[in-house]
Structure 1
Amino acid sequence: MPPVEHSRSQPGAVVTDPLLNANFTLDSSGVAGFFGGDTAVHGMATVNLFRGRRWGGLYNTPGSLEIAKRYGQLANARVCKGLFPGGTDDPSQLFGLDGKVGPRFLAARSGSRFEKTGHLAALLARMARRAPYESVYKNRGKERITTPATVTIIDLPYEPPDTVQPELPYNHSALLAFVPIGASIGACVGCALVADWWSFSNILLGMFANGCACFVLGSGRLTFKHHRPASGAPPGDGIFRGETGVIVVRGGEGAVNALTRGRFFLQYEAPAESCRTQGKVAENRDGQAEGSQAVAQLPRTDDSLDGDMEKQVGENQAEEEQEAGRIAKEAQERERKARDTDTAPQGGQPNSFAIGLCSILLTAQFLVQLLLVPQGVLFGQVMFVCTLAVSWGYNTYLSSIDREDIQTKILCKILKLEDKNIRKFEFGTWTAMSIFALLALQPKDPLPNSPKILDDLLPNDTEVWAKWKDIMREKMGTSGEWQFTDDDRKLRKQEPTDVYEKQQCDKAQELLVALIEDAKAANERFRKEYPKSPRLCE
């Protein structure tokens, strides 16, 4: 189809085309690819994090093909699998709610060890890195400084339920959506006034496709879930070990478990297949009950005939029970997966048909606009490009919003974690930091696994470190100010006679004294920062 002639007004135009006599045209391929789709994809990822965001997608946006390729993977349909291969079908990972690897965790009292934790622990570590603290260099001279390390102490005051649907925060970006929506509506009106129905249809198609995608993808309810701890479990106090320090978490097993084994996911409405399966189970059970009642109400006229009928009814009932048992087993398996935090719970997947329809619609939008934009007049093409420009600016703004900050705030609200529950300290050596962390882990009772934690934080096993660790194991069970004897500061009872061995022994002796001073400085600082700790009472 040839492009519309630009030298005369369109039939039915209400106003005169202001660009009627312009001597330039727009290249259709340039219009279609004028803006990239990365910002549109990242902007769509915020659709489940803001209140009312799902309703703000009625605007013509660039990057429709990229959005379809990214989120079309959620559609469990053969056509969509062929159009959008690869990727993941987990909504929480596609929207950035899961997938990050957290630091290693060691439980102080139960002895549990997690070599890697999940997304929530990564958010906690990120928050700990940003927590303010006083630099150790301000106290230079009071303690030895080699490799500064930090310890962040977080007291968890609340154990959340197994499943929580937090209230989404309000963000003014939902109101800013009226800017691209208004621009798209205004462009449609402008195209209608000059009777450019090609451009009008293209813009309207983009508004409809993006609006449907936002509504369907944003229908998921952000939900938090974690494993329920066993009854009688000890406190969940433990240590997250990072690159430049550690995070000490203190609280109930359920509170710490929420960080180590909890996760965010998107709770969509239960699929119709699940409802049909449950209805079929109930229907089979009702049928079995009716069959039993029918057998009981049969008139007993002939014993042989009655026996044949009972045998036939019994066989039918056995088949129905077998079928009902199979269906019930499948339902139990789905329920088991729903209780598992590693998989999406019941209703955790969006409607495959709606997702597939939106993805195909977005793909069709890209193809239709690529082919039909040149059929419009120049003024309509300019209006089309203007809608893309405004939408691109809005998507860029959405992409600039830190989604992890929002998730961290939601997590803190779930755990009722406030700034007063977080304290961060910096030490000049990893040794002093480790001792301070161990002291923070035993405010009331001595740690049963303190040697194990000390070996994990400081894996050195030379003669100097072995003696120092033995001394620390004895001190960890005492309260008050630590006092060290001359025997503690002496590595060996007898000095070696060999000159080389004596030099090495002197260096080791110097290191032992330095390590003891680090431990003493950590103990003094802990007593200063936590003067009301029960373990510090004489």
Structure 2
Amino acid sequence: MAPIAQSAPQHDAAVHDPLAGANFTLDSSGVAGFFGGDTAVHGMATVNLFRWRKWGGWYNTPGSYEIAKQYGQLANARLCKGLFPGGGTDDPSQLFGLNGKTGPKFLATRSGSAFEQTGHLAALIMRMARKMRPDHPVARGGQEGITTPATVTVLDLQTVPGEIVYPKLSNHHSALIAVIPVGASIGACVGCALVADWWSFSSILLGMFANGCACFVLGSGRLTFKHHKPADGAPRGDGMFVSHNSGVVVVRGDEGAVNCLTRGRFYLAYDSSPSTSGTPPPNDVDPNPDDSVDEDPKKDLERANGNAAGDGEGRDGEEKEDKNQGDRDTDSAPPGGQPNSFGIGLCSILLTAQFLFQLLLIPQGVLFGQVMFVSTLAVSWGYNTYLSSINREDIQTAVLCDILKLGKANIRKFEFGTWTAMSTFACLALQGNPNKPLPDHSSMVWNALLPSTTEVWAKWREVVNAKMGQSGDWEDLLRYQEGEGQERETKPFSPEDQKLLEELLKDAYAAHKRYLEVYVPRQG
């Protein structure tokens, strides 16, 4: 339908149209493409991170088709797959940014396990460590040299959470600010009704209803944390995350606590069907582990064992098996972990219908009603932009730290002037007590942090390893002379190599001294 040439007054209007008689209208294609849908999609991704957020979507928003296309993939129905093709993921945690990041390499020094890459939660911890300011920056002008500054962040995990935890969501002011776009949409509806512009009135009301339903249905997922229970008798999970771009994060604690970072993940648990075993427990209350086991414990145990061993072939096989399945992977999801396909599909179709109907209805309205419609989109766009600016990773990190009871007292970050000093300090932190020897699998830590195979580095590791586990000071490292106290079978070092070895040993001494000064006293 072509837009009218002139805005005429409506006979049944309750008030006089202030724009009656205007000789132009807003172009329908311009209204349909007003602003963009990216901010609406990103704003919708916050709907499961804050309390009451799902109730604040009753406003007319731009980008309804983009929202339908993004989140309509959650509806495991042929109609929605036909409407929104593209082969996207149907995992809610992926779509809402709760999973999908690749974490750094992890070395478990006491069990000897090595993970070439970890998951989303480990990536969050590394990001948190990278953004922290060091409690103890490198001392400029001290004994320690400064060539390539590096950092060590030490996390002491003292709490082992339940296998499934429903974290308590925080009250965020975004839910309160939603009053602004909701009020603007309601006011615009009232204004359109007063001038009897029922076309614009219907368009705004349809947008409010469609977005409100989508926000409520998508936001009905309960943020859920799950990790694997370690085998009985498993050693402590002490280890380190290694990233040559972000430094090293040393993690100390029980295997169950460290598992939370290496193999735990976030889910969205939906009450999608009557088969769901009960409703989620109240906030801050862990469910009964007996009620939260997977449907196939044997299969889950095989997957856990394969991941614990770092078996890449097992993971590839699991991925191939998932691709061959027509349905979602629910083997490792908690009860109720998938959304209601019918509700998601209905909301997606409603959002698509909103997009199409508004293209047809808005040109039929008077100019005042069209201005009201565009005003609601402008206010909603501003609110969506604000929601998009909220860093979801910061929120997830705060939730994870709350689950692990990880506060400032359990996190310490140290800066060093050389990678050598940092590596020595990291090994001392893994060692815990400086008078005890390193764990049996400490060699893989040295190889990961200092992979050089030259004779100087080999000698340095030999000397420092010999000092580990010895009581007393390491001051004799400052006076170390190659070949002293032992016969050397190979040719002696050149003066340059000898000088390099002495400098590296000074770095190790400086790291040991700092460890005794700033860390051992805290352990009491």
> How high is the TM-score relative to the length of structure 2?
0.86
Partner-residue secondary structure (3-state), 2:224: strand
Residue segments in structure 2 that go unaligned for 5+ positions in a row: 278-293, 305-329
Q: Deviations over 1:449-499 (max 9, x none)?
A: 2222212211111111111111122111212311437995316989999xx
Deviation at 1:254, TM superposition (A): 0.8
Deviation at 1:4, TM superposition (A): 5.0
Task: Output the amino acid matched with 1:12.
Answer: D
Instruction: Indicate conservation of the 8 Å contact 1:105/1:239, yes or no.
Output: yes
2:441 corresponds in structure 1 to 449
1:54 corresponds in structure 2 to 54
Instruction: Indicate conservation of the 8 Å contact 2:5/2:25, yes or no.
Output: no
Question: Aligned equivalents of 1:53 and 1:335: distance in 2?
Answer: 38
Distance 1:425-1:2 versus aligned 2 partners, 3 A rule: closer
Instruction: Indicate conservation of the 8 Å contact 2:7/2:23, yes or no.
Output: no
Distance 1:335-1:452 versus aligned 2 partners, 3 A rule: closer
Question: Aligned equivalents of 1:181 and 1:337: distance in 2?
Answer: 45
Q: Deviations over 1:47-102 (max 9, x none)?
A: 00010000000000000000001000000000101111221000001000000111
Distance 1:101-1:529 versus aligned 2 partners, 3 A rule: same
Question: Aligned equivalents of 1:439 and 1:7: distance in 2?
Answer: 79
Residues 1:430 and 2:419 aligned together: yes
Deviation at 1:205, TM superposition (A): 0.3
1:306 corresponds in structure 2 to none
Question: Aligned equivalents of 2:8 and 2:18: distance in 1?
Answer: 11
Q: What is the root-mean-square deviation in Å for CA atoms of aligned residues?
A: 2.6
Instruction: Indicate conservation of the 8 Å contact 1:434/1:454, yes or no.
Output: yes
Deviation at 1:349, TM superposition (A): 1.0
Residues 1:373 and 2:382 aligned together: no
Show the 5 A alignment for 1:105-144.
105-133=106-134, 136=137, 138-144=139-145
Percent identity of equivalent pairs: 66
Instruction: Indicate conservation of the 8 Å contact 1:15/1:194, yes or no.
Output: yes
Q: Deviations over 1:339-398 (max 9, x none)?
A: 979843332110001101100110110011012110001100000000000000000000
Q: Deviations over 1:248-298 (max 9, x none)?
A: 1111111111000000010001434778xxxxxxxxxxxxxxxxxxxxxxx
Question: Aligned equivalents of 2:479 and 2:189: distance in 1?
Answer: 88
2:157 corresponds in structure 1 to 156
1:11 corresponds in structure 2 to 11
Partner-residue secondary structure (3-state), 1:436: helix
2:201 corresponds in structure 1 to 200
Question: Aligned equivalents of 1:44 and 1:245: distance in 2?
Answer: 34
Deviation at 1:334, TM superposition (A): 9.4
Task: Output the amino acid matched with 2:48.
Answer: N
2:463 corresponds in structure 1 to 471
Deviation at 1:505, TM superposition (A): 1.5
1:191 corresponds in structure 2 to 192
Instruction: Indicate conservation of the 8 Å contact 1:270/1:346, yes or no.
Output: no
Question: Aligned equivalents of 1:430 and 1:182: distance in 2?
Answer: 57
Question: Aligned equivalents of 1:236 and 1:494: distance in 2?
Answer: 39
Instruction: Indicate conservation of the 8 Å contact 1:471/1:488, yes or no.
Output: no
Deviation at 1:104, TM superposition (A): 0.7
Q: Deviations over 1:94-120 (max 9, x none)?
A: 000000111110011111111111111
Residues 1:346 and 2:338 aligned together: no
Show the 5 A alignment for 1:15-54.
15-54=15-54
Task: Output the amino acid matched with 1:68.
Answer: A
2:374 corresponds in structure 1 to 385
Instruction: Indicate conservation of the 8 Å contact 1:60/1:388, yes or no.
Output: yes
1:169 corresponds in structure 2 to 170
2:518 corresponds in structure 1 to 529
1:236 corresponds in structure 2 to 237
Instruction: Indicate conservation of the 8 Å contact 1:436/1:522, yes or no.
Output: yes
Partner-residue secondary structure (3-state), 2:172: coil
Partner-residue secondary structure (3-state), 2:235: coil
2:248 corresponds in structure 1 to 246
Instruction: Indicate conservation of the 8 Å contact 1:443/1:533, yes or no.
Output: no
Distance 1:420-1:137 versus aligned 2 partners, 3 A rule: closer
Distance 1:7-1:347 versus aligned 2 partners, 3 A rule: closer
1:399 corresponds in structure 2 to 388
Task: Output the amino acid matched with 2:228.
Answer: H
Q: Deviations over 1:167-224 (max 9, x none)?
A: 1011000000010000000000000011110000000000000000000000000000
Residues 1:356 and 2:348 aligned together: no
Distance 1:519-1:157 versus aligned 2 partners, 3 A rule: same
Q: Which residue, 264, 268, 271 being the options, matches 1:269? A: 271
Instruction: Indicate conservation of the 8 Å contact 1:136/1:148, yes or no.
Output: no
Q: Deviations over 1:136-190 (max 9, x none)?
A: 5542232111111100111112111100000101100000001000000000000
| Larger CA deviation: 524-533 vs 238-247 | 524-533
1:72 corresponds in structure 2 to 72
Deviation at 1:24, TM superposition (A): 2.2
Instruction: Indicate conservation of the 8 Å contact 2:155/2:250, yes or no.
Output: yes
Deviation at 1:333, TM superposition (A): 4.3
**As a proportion of its length, which structure holds more helix?**
1
| Larger CA deviation: 173-182 vs 468-477 | 468-477
Task: Output the amino acid matched with 2:456.
Answer: V
Instruction: Indicate conservation of the 8 Å contact 1:489/1:512, yes or no.
Output: no
Question: Aligned equivalents of 1:49 and 1:494: distance in 2?
Answer: 65
Question: Aligned equivalents of 1:227 and 1:495: distance in 2?
Answer: 50
Instruction: Indicate conservation of the 8 Å contact 1:187/1:384, yes or no.
Output: yes
| Larger CA deviation: 341-350 vs 63-72 | 341-350
Partner-residue secondary structure (3-state), 1:264: strand
Instruction: Indicate conservation of the 8 Å contact 2:477/2:509, yes or no.
Output: no
Question: Aligned equivalents of 2:268 and 2:481: distance in 1?
Answer: 58
Task: Output the amino acid matched with 1:39.
Answer: T
Distance 1:334-1:491 versus aligned 2 partners, 3 A rule: closer
| Larger CA deviation: 455-464 vs 201-210 | 455-464
1:512 corresponds in structure 2 to 501
Distance 1:55-1:494 versus aligned 2 partners, 3 A rule: same
Distance 1:221-1:244 versus aligned 2 partners, 3 A rule: closer
Partner-residue secondary structure (3-state), 1:364: helix
Task: Output the amino acid matched with 1:176.
Answer: I
Partner-residue secondary structure (3-state), 1:346: coil
Task: Output the amino acid matched with 1:417.
Answer: L
Residue segments in structure 1 that go unaligned for 5+ positions in a row: 276-330
Question: Aligned equivalents of 2:231 and 2:298: distance in 1?
Answer: 20
Task: Output the amino acid matched with 1:16.
Answer: H
**Greater C-alpha radius of gyration:** 1
